[in-house]
Amino acid sequence: MADLLKTVDDQALAERFAATRSLTEALATPLSAEDQTVQSMPDVSPTKWHRAHTTWFFETFLLVPQRPTYQPFHPAYGYLFNSYYEEIGARFPRPHRGQLSRPGIHEIADYRSHVDGAMTALLEEPVDGAVASLIELGIQHEQQHQELLLMDIKHVLSRNPLLPSYADITMPCPTAEGRTTWTEYEEGIHQIGHDGQGFGFDNESPRHPVYLGAFAVADQPVTCGEWLAFIDDDGYHRPELWLSDGWATVQSEGWEHPLYWSRVDDIWQEFTLGGPIMVNPAQPVVHLSYYEAEAFARWAGGRLPTEAEWEVAARDRGLDGHLLDREVLHPAPSVLSAGSASLVGDVWQWTSSAYSPYPGFEAAAGAVGEYNGKFMVNQYVLRGGSAVTPPGHIRATYRNFFPPSARWAFSGLRMARNP
Amino acid sequence: MADLLKTVDDQALAERFAATRSLTEALATPLSAEDQTVQSMPDVSPTKWHRAHTTWFFETFLLVPQRPTYQPFHPAYGYLFNSYYEEIGARFPRPHRGQLSRPGIHEIADYRSHVDGAMTALLEEPVDGAVASLIELGIQHEQQHQELLLMDIKHVLSRNPLLPSYADITMPCPTAEGRTTWTEYEEGIHQIGHDGQGFGFDNESPRHPVYLGAFAVADQPVTCGEWLAFIDDDGYHRPELWLSDGWATVQSEGWEHPLYWSRVDDIWQEFTLGGPIMVNPAQPVVHLSYYEAEAFARWAGGRLPTEAEWEVAARDRGLDGHLLDREVLHPAPSVLSAGSASLVGDVWQWTSSAYSPYPGFEAAAGAVGEYNGKFMVNQYVLRGGSAVTPPGHIRATYRNFFPPSARWAFSGLRMARNP
Amino acid sequence: MADLLKTVDDQALAERFAATRSLTEALATPLSAEDQTVQSMPDVSPTKWHRAHTTWFFETFLLVPQRPTYQPFHPAYGYLFNSYYEEIGARFPRPHRGQLSRPGIHEIADYRSHVDGAMTALLEEPVDGAVASLIELGIQHEQQHQELLLMDIKHVLSRNPLLPSYADITMPCPTAEGRTTWTEYEEGIHQIGHDGQGFGFDNESPRHPVYLGAFAVADQPVTCGEWLAFIDDDGYHRPELWLSDGWATVQSEGWEHPLYWSRVDDIWQEFTLGGPIMVNPAQPVVHLSYYEAEAFARWAGGRLPTEAEWEVAARDRGLDGHLLDREVLHPAPSVLSAGSASLVGDVWQWTSSAYSPYPGFEAAAGAVGEYNGKFMVNQYVLRGGSAVTPPGHIRATYRNFFPPSARWAFSGLRMARNP
Amino acid sequence: MADLLKTVDDQALAERFAATRSLTEALATPLSAEDQTVQSMPDVSPTKWHRAHTTWFFETFLLVPQRPTYQPFHPAYGYLFNSYYEEIGARFPRPHRGQLSRPGIHEIADYRSHVDGAMTALLEEPVDGAVASLIELGIQHEQQHQELLLMDIKHVLSRNPLLPSYADITMPCPTAEGRTTWTEYEEGIHQIGHDGQGFGFDNESPRHPVYLGAFAVADQPVTCGEWLAFIDDDGYHRPELWLSDGWATVQSEGWEHPLYWSRVDDIWQEFTLGGPIMVNPAQPVVHLSYYEAEAFARWAGGRLPTEAEWEVAARDRGLDGHLLDREVLHPAPSVLSAGSASLVGDVWQWTSSAYSPYPGFEAAAGAVGEYNGKFMVNQYVLRGGSAVTPPGHIRATYRNFFPPSARWAFSGLRMARNP
């Protein structure tokens, strides 16, 4: 684990720790005690749970092992706020997180303060590389939960007939829908995976060669306008476009459009963190399952990129898409042109790659090794970050993953094809 | 409906309206915003939903029809807070009430104030008998929800590993377990049902004759001590004691004891609104299903009374059991002796009677007619009120009802036998 | 148990034993090995299971206890063919009966022959009253399974898109739909239940007094023509007509008509044991749930009779309806007129009475006591027999019972009302 | 499609058609009508359904398009025996195949004869390459169903407490458990996929380069003896060995051993097509899920091979494992030594590769294109054939696939590791 973070500047680490912790609280600020309590489906966690669980991570993996005199804030919180670490012990069942009214939001604020104080004290002293790596992991972990917090509260609010807003957001002006442009890449052996410079999760390693045939990747993500054409062409009713499991899901769930879309008086609307808006054809389409993305690609005559293709295409293009710092909290119309622009931001992009270990992958020893490896089945890789990804938390080698039926992440797609 | 309430003293009605509304708020006061939001199972409603739904009743059935200028507080609340009245229109699905963070507890307080103000104005003018009857119905309805609110929050808190208390309660001192005494009744034709004096729900009418053979009813409810003997005699593992559906439920649910009981280090505990306490053998046993009550009665060599037997036994005995005004919020040891004491209070008592219409029963016209009649299937009648029933809300003819597998009501039993 | 059958003529018993056993085999004769193997839903049992289970009854309750030298035919059959007798021991799960290809129909024929031989030997000697009662119970039990066999295979065949016939049947000529006539009964105390003359199941006893108000019962069952009027009046779409659980079932199951009905090119058809036929308005409507019967009665301005009312109305009217001996295997148009004719045959008639023990009911000791009593919850009583009830198996005191959502029995209704 | 089969010898094709059709009937011969009717779980199909469905394939894809005068045997069979071809039209729901008693086994024999006659006539004339390819596809399809028929009937019989045998089988003598030997392969670019010589399914194409690091593959599959060591080392109770979804499945299903194993009086038994036998430590372990195979590999300090690694290791080794022609119907002890022997036969071997399209994969046009491609999600690739795979139906490029929780295939594993 120590080698995940080659050089650590303690001062910067303390600052980033503080900034990350503060951002979580800032994201929760618009939400009432009631908002922070609700769990709208088993995959969703209450806001206050995210605030507590990220705190539990620092308490459990840093304070308890590193500070012999540290007293856990509450004896039951280890049970309540462990997410899935089997080695740490039993845990409260995930689907029932919304049944817990206590601890309330004020007790959780106290918990955060308590742990922040102890962590600040720890960070005031020199820390060795292994400890610094764990703190870095805790920061990155909390950043993931910042995105989850926003995904989850969007789902919670969407279930309420009052359609409440999380925040007032100003969407960029609707623009004309651009034309898709493509960039081509030649066949050959490419290195993919994390090169060890800066932080990377264990699942991004080891860096390794892959052979790729020639391919082309679209410079823009697929837009709502293109998705409307798919709908109009009866895309949700043609089994030949779908994987068998996808078609079964379309039928059992009654899918006719992306999650959060609805048709009101013949006008397509979508629910956002700013409440309902009209669907803008120029914006990237978002909240798709893998099944929908894959079917669309077939309909459109192309295919999804593999994660290796995506990474090769992305790595020389920078990271300047719409992330959380843009504060739109929703994918925005793209103004990017061929070959020049980032593949990052706005929407996570489904790839055709099942989430599997890289050759030679080894999980870290101990409980933190349960972080990524044990989920390497029944999921597909998404790449690129989204409008609710914290800046600094995305890179070309980053592997996100969800089951193929999941739609509540900010998931869209980018096309690939054989040249 | 008018004849449900023969003479109405408007002044008293206004006072009782105000007192009932205040009691609901007082019952919610110990509960945080988070507590009031959680729904721990589909049968349970969040506290804030109870507060809003009882308000919706007055708005919908009194203010809107009676006050032409009245503006509903919010256009969506009719949808959100209708419980099951099909004639009123669509409603938000019951199992998802816990998914609603908005309106929050403060908005619901505003809603209550708004409606209370309009109702107070309505009550300052003379009201005719039909309107007075509806107000009375609304008061009685809110009293029912006061008990539901306590039943429901007990279930919510019980699911939390922190085992939080609703309130500090002082249980009466444990006493020696008394002996069961019996009172006998002769065979003959008895009149049962509501006689039209004072309020009664439609399901208590019409009063009608029934033929009963001779029977005896226990003067005391079954106690925890007797229940422990049933457990010790392997009662939960002997299929011959159980109805077939009951045995299937025992096995699928893994029941080994009443709801809220647990065995910690060989000591039986039960969860109460005051938190966990040791099981007191002298207290009435509570939180039983019909299946358990019926199996116990078979094991004990007796049977459950029919609802007619219960009513005949109860009607000359007064109403002085432990109700909500005793503030113990839990059934208390009985000090009653043969034939002299009330059958009311502490625990609702399962009868052997399926919940059916009385001969000649007719539901009221319109939506309020959906109050009781449409539930007359797949349920059993309970009689007697409980430690969380508001005083003034119980009488010998009162018919409560739950499905035979339900356990979260304050349900116990009283034995009967053939003399 | 001995007193269930006061005087037994052994010769007659042996003859009825043989005749009953032969009838079962005759009913199975039109069915292939494949037909006899299928279980189309958990409530349905395969034909070959019925043939084996009825045999197991005689082996288990007669041969093993009475014939010390008797060897059970196969050591595993006790496990495979016990239906629900907990005292007898473990049993194969009911929902999986259709997973058993072995024993096949020929092995079951051998099993039947083996047991019949041993029973015949037993019957050649004098038997005491208790044994005779058990044999009688076995005969009655097998008659019940004859009706179940036909109900079940109808369901099996109905699920097959080929809509195969069980037998060629000739329906009586369609006739004009008659008018409903009514017979009135005065209020008073009536004795209901079995009087001890001839066989009766334990659930028909003890005979006991009930008080009934004045009532009227229709002389004819409700017809398909009346049911079509209910459908045309939107009966399946009006919640105000339905019990709450019934309405939930209508919606979750998508019910729009009785089981086995379908609308093909605007013509109503129903599936029968003779294959599909056009719905005949003059025939009694059949394959209704309690929920449908109850809703219809409300719609028609009447109500269902209680089981006591039904029994009082039926007992002086004879038993000459269409039973299995008429060989139509389907309810036939009624030609009965007011007050003169039987209430028996064609369709079982839902009553408004939950299935409960009669006052003083006691189940028999031992495993045969599991016969009826343990099902006395969550079911409603039906009276009257049907077109697939063996003659000699029905009487005015007979209590059949099914859950309120069940529709695969030959269940219809007869109206009652207050005069 | 035509290019799937470059040169076709019509005579040979006719012979292989006849032989394949006969083998299916021979495999069904030991099974009674009852056996052939049962469906023991949704994944399983009745034997008679397999016999009919393989026939439907030839009728639908060959006879109807190629023989203008051909009359389908029965108008409803297209609906009943279509498995999953959306383009062909609606089909009877798969989980309900066991509800169909008709057509019976004799009608299905007639159906087979009818189609065989018409196919024989078709094959007596010259057929063009496209038609020959479809016939070849039909033969290969029927071979797949021969294996499915045996897998499925094994599951059916296993559910029966009588534990009946499909056939008498003689297992090779138990031998001492051998030692695992390994063969190493160097890193580099390899070509995998079908080279166009002889038949291959569409999912084996196109042949394409992959880059592989150095690796080693075991010369023997994992044995029951090794599996017993995994069990003894508490393998089924240690979450750190399992993928998260695998661990959840172990817990929800209560897995403690491979499917068909049981422990009787401390002796491990397994159910085979020859009935129950003692577990032989020298035999390959079989009936594992992907989850179990993957967890074992982690426990054993190795990993599963990727499908590319497996193919590289297998292709120069021949095809002489135990297949269906050995008639043991169960994996047999291996006598193979390092580097010399086939990787084929006995057990299908889970690979670590999710089932995905090869680069440039295109499904065939029309309904036969639904054959493989639409299942390329949520499944893992298995390689190598098994003791119930028909000879001639396996090759090094063959890709079988099942969901990671499936265990009723003859699935085992072979280890890989990094050298």
The model's pLDDT over D268-292, given as tens digits with 9 standing for 90+, comes to: 999 999 999 999 999 999 999 999 9
Structure confidence at residue A340 (pLDDT):
61
Tens-digit pLDDT profile for residues C215-237: 999 999 999 999 999 999 999 99
Asked if A354 lies within 8 A of D357 by C-beta distance, the reply is no
Higher pLDDT, B340 or B249: B249
Pick the residue from chain A with its C-alpha nearest to B45.
A99
The pLDDT value recorded for residue C7 is 41
Confidence of residue B116 (pLDDT cuts 50, 70, 90): very high
Q: Do chains D and C touch (3 or more CB pairs under 8 A)?
A: yes
Contact yes or no for C102 and D164 at CB 8 A: yes
Q: B171 falls in which pLDDT band (50, 70, 90)?
A: confident
The predicted structure's pLDDT at residue A3: 36
Distance from CA of B343 to the nearest CA of C (A): 22
Chain A residue numbers touching B158 (CB-CB < 8 A) = none
pLDDT score recorded for residue C328: 86
**Cα dist from C54 to B307, C46, C91, C202, whole Å:** 39, 13, 15, 19
Model confidence pLDDT, tens digit, residues B204-213: 999 999 999 9
Neighbours of C168 (CB within 10 A): 9
Q: What is the pLDDT of residue D11?
A: 72
- pLDDT tens digits for D61-97? 999 999 999 999 999 999 999 988 888 888 899 999 9
Tokens of A133: 């790596």
What secondary structure, in 3-state letters, does chain B show? CHHHCCCCCHHHHHHHHHHHHHHHHHHHCCCCCCHHHCCCCCCCCCHHHHHHHHHHHHHHHHHHHHCCCCCCCCCCHHHHHCCCCHHHCCCCCHHHHHHCCCCCHHHHHHHHHHHHHHHHHHHHCCCCHHHHHHHHHHHHHHHHHHHHHHHHHHHHHHCCCCCCCCCCCCCCCCCCCCCCCEEEECCEEEEECCCCCCCCCHHHCCCEEEEECCEEEECCCCEHHHHHHHHHCCHHHCHHHCCHHHHHHHHHHCCCCCCCEEEECCEEEEEECCEEEECCCCCECCCCCHHHHHHHHHHCCCECCCHHHHHHHHCCCCCCCCCHHHCCCCCCCCCCCCCCCCCCCCCEEEEEEECCCCCCCCCCCCHHHHCCHHHCCCCEEEECCCCCCCCCCCCCCCCEEECCCCCCCCEECCCEECC
Instruction: Report DSSP letters for C325-362, one per residue.
Output: GG---S-------TTTS-S-SSSEEEEEEE--PPTT--
- B with C: how many residue pairs have Cβ under 8 Å apart? 76
Contacts with A302 (C-beta within 8 Å, 6 or more apart), sequence order? A218, A415, A416, A417
Q: Which of B33, B38, B48 sits opposite A98 (nearest CB)?
A: B38
Q: Contact at 8 Å (CB) between D171 and D332? A: yes
User: In this complex, which chains have at least 3 CB pairs below 8 Å with chain C?
Assistant: B, D
Can you give the pTM of this predicted structure?
0.95
**Which residue did the predictor score with more confidence, D328 or B43?**
B43
**pLDDT score recorded for residue C4:** 33
pLDDT at B11: 72
Confidence (pLDDT) at D362: 87
Q: What is the least distance, in Å, from the CA of A283 to any CA of chain B?
A: 29
Subunit contact A101:B34, Cβ cutoff 8 A: yes
Contact D38 C80 (CB under 8 A): no
Torsion, Cα of C19, C21, C26, C32 (10° steps): 180
**Closest-CA residue of chain A to D295:** A374
Q: Which residues of B touch A38 (CB under 8 A)?
A: 37, 98-101
Are B24 and B51 a contacting pair, CB within 8 Å? yes
* Alpha carbon distance A153, A173 (integer Å): 25
Secondary structure element (H or E) that encloses residue C206, with its range: none
Distance of residue D99 Cα from the nearest chain C Cα, in angstroms: 5
Cα–Cα dist A83/A81, whole Å = 6
Smallest Cβ–Cβ distance between D354 and the set A86, A209, A354 belongs to A354
Select the residue of C101, C105, C159 nearest D38 (Cβ to Cβ): C101
- Of how many residues is chain A composed? 419
The amino acid sitting at D379 is Q
Q: Which residues of A touch D (CB under 8 A)?
A: 84, 86-87, 189, 208-211, 213, 239-240, 242-247, 290-291, 294, 352-354, 356-357, 359-360, 370, 374-378, 404, 418
- pLDDT level of residue D4 (50, 70, 90 thresholds): very low
Residue C211 to residue B213, Cβ atoms within 8 A: no
pLDDT at A366: 78
Nearest chain D Cα distance for residue A374, angstroms: 4
Query: Is residue D334 very low, low, confident or very high in pLDDT (cuts 50, 70, 90)?
Result: low
pLDDT higher than threshold 60 for residue D5:
no
pLDDT tens per residue across span B66-109? 999 999 999 999 999 998 888 888 889 999 999 999 999 999 99
pLDDT band at D340 (very low <50, low <70, confident <90, very high): low
Chains C/B: 3 or more C-beta pairs closer than 8 A?
yes
Mean local confidence (pLDDT), D385-390 = 96
Query: Which chains neighbour D (Cβ–Cβ under 8 Å, 3 or more pairs)?
Result: A, C
D178 vs A109, more confident: A109
In the predicted structure, residue D179 carries a pLDDT above the cut 60: yes
Nearest CB to D104; choose among C34, C98, C161? C34
Q: What is the mean pLDDT of chain B?
A: 92
Q: Is the pLDDT of residue B28 over 90?
A: yes
pLDDT tens for each residue of chain C, 419 residues long: 333 333 456 679 999 999 999 999 999 999 999 999 999 999 999 999 999 999 999 999 999 999 999 999 999 999 999 988 888 888 899 999 999 999 999 999 999 999 999 999 999 999 999 999 999 999 999 999 999 999 999 999 999 999 999 999 887 665 666 788 999 999 999 999 999 999 999 999 999 999 999 999 999 999 999 999 999 999 999 999 999 999 999 999 999 999 999 999 999 999 999 999 999 999 999 999 999 999 999 999 999 999 999 999 999 888 777 899 877 899 987 655 545 678 999 999 999 999 999 999 988 877 778 888 999 999 999 999 999 999 999 999 999 999 999 999 999 999 999 98
Q: What is the pLDDT of residue D163?
A: 95
Residue D41 has a pLDDT of 97
**Whole-number pLDDT of residue D10:** 66
**Residues of C with Cβ-Cβ distance to D156 under 8 angstroms:** 99, 101
Structure token pair of residue A68: 């012999």
**Chain-chain contact of B162 with A102 (C-beta, under 8 angstroms):** yes
Question: Would you place residue B317 in the very low, low, confident or very high pLDDT band (cuts 50, 70, 90)?
Answer: confident
For testing the chain B interface, which of A43, A91, A99 should be mutated: the one with the most B CBs within 10 Å?
A99
Closest B-chain CA to C302: B360
Q: Do D161 and C104 touch (CB under 8 A)?
A: no
How confident is residue D101, by pLDDT bands cut at 50, 70 and 90? very high
Mean pLDDT in runs of 10 for chain A (419 residues)?
42 93 97 98 98 97 95 95 86 94 98 98 92 95 98 98 93 69 95 95 96 96 97 97 97 98 95 96 96 98 98 88 86 65 92 97 82 93 97 95 98 96
pLDDT at B61 over 70: yes
So what's the pLDDT on residue C340?
61
